[in-house]
Amino acid sequence: AQKVTQAQTEISVVEKEDVTLDCVYETRDTTYYLFWYKQPPSGELVFLIRRNSFDEQNEISGRYSWNFQKSTSSFNFTITASQVVDSAVYFCALSEAGSSGANSKLTFGKGITLSVRP
Amino acid sequence: DVKVTQSSRYLVKRTGEKVFLECVQDMDHENMFWYRQDPGLGLRLIYFSYDVKMKEKGDIPEGYSVSREKKERFSLILESASTNQTSMYLCASSLSGVRYGYTFGSGTRLTVV
């Protein structure tokens, strides 16, 4: 069975610090997708990024970057120069490939609460 | 802007009441999901549906049922609300095919007193 572990539960940093959110996954499949979502205090989970298992290139989007390493089954998320608006709960999720519909179900980690203090 | 709409942002119900949580999506998505979110427990899947009139149990279906009579609407029903069902309820939808992530609603914070 697939599993996603976000070992950090709460992280608190001061504005402008860099912070890395860890995500470790388990799957027996060779084809899968990984996701990160952000849940601000308003409550709605917002999609941040998707990565498939065949694409190990790191991705950078502004202050956000993602490091995908199949060798360690990790998909870590780094925020550079954090800001107060980055305060949120961040979820990592895993989806395995397979027949359409039957496997379209994400497995979520328990989330990491990030607090960025001014 | 495409979205998932949950009918209530906050809801207070009494123990024993039958409660309906409504979710509507306007993206023509095949799949719809209901989760509850509790501190320290993350997101737990209650029920999901891959098509109209189809439903499958998630990890914690006890005490809940669902209805999907139309593609765009997925209702979560608490047959007899109890205080341990006080929680944040999140609805999500997605296209079929595992490459697609979910689009979430804003959530309904339900308090059962």
Residue in A with minimal Cα distance to B50: A101
Q: Do B92 and A45 touch (CB under 8 A)?
A: yes
Report the residue from A44, A50, A101 with minimal CB separation from B101: A50
What separation, in Å, do the N-terminal and C-terminal C-alpha atoms of chain A show? 41
CB B30 to CB A101 under 8 A?
A: yes
B66-89 in b/e form (b: 16+ CB < 10 A) is bbbeebbebbbebeebeeebbbbb
- Using a CB-CB cut-off of 8 Å, the residues of chain A touching B33 are 105
What number is the average pLDDT over the span A79-106?
82
Q: What angle do CA B80, B82, B87 make, to 5 degrees?
A: 115
pLDDT tens sequence across B65-108: 999 999 999 999 999 999 999 999 999 999 887 778 899 999 99
Give the tens place of pLDDT for each residue, B1-13: 669 999 899 999 9
Which has the higher per-residue pLDDT, B26 or A103?
B26
Residue A99: what pLDDT?
46
Per residue in A76-92, pLDDT tens? 999 999 999 999 999 99
Please tell me the distance in Å from A95's CA to the nearest CA on chain B. 6
User: Which residues of chain A have a Cβ shorter than 8 Å from any chain B Cβ?
Assistant: 9, 32-33, 35, 37, 42-47, 50, 52, 91, 93, 95-98, 100-106, 108-111
On chain B, the residues whose CB falls within 8 A of the CB of A9 are 40
The alpha carbon torsion through A80, A113, A2, B35 (nearest 10 deg) reads -130
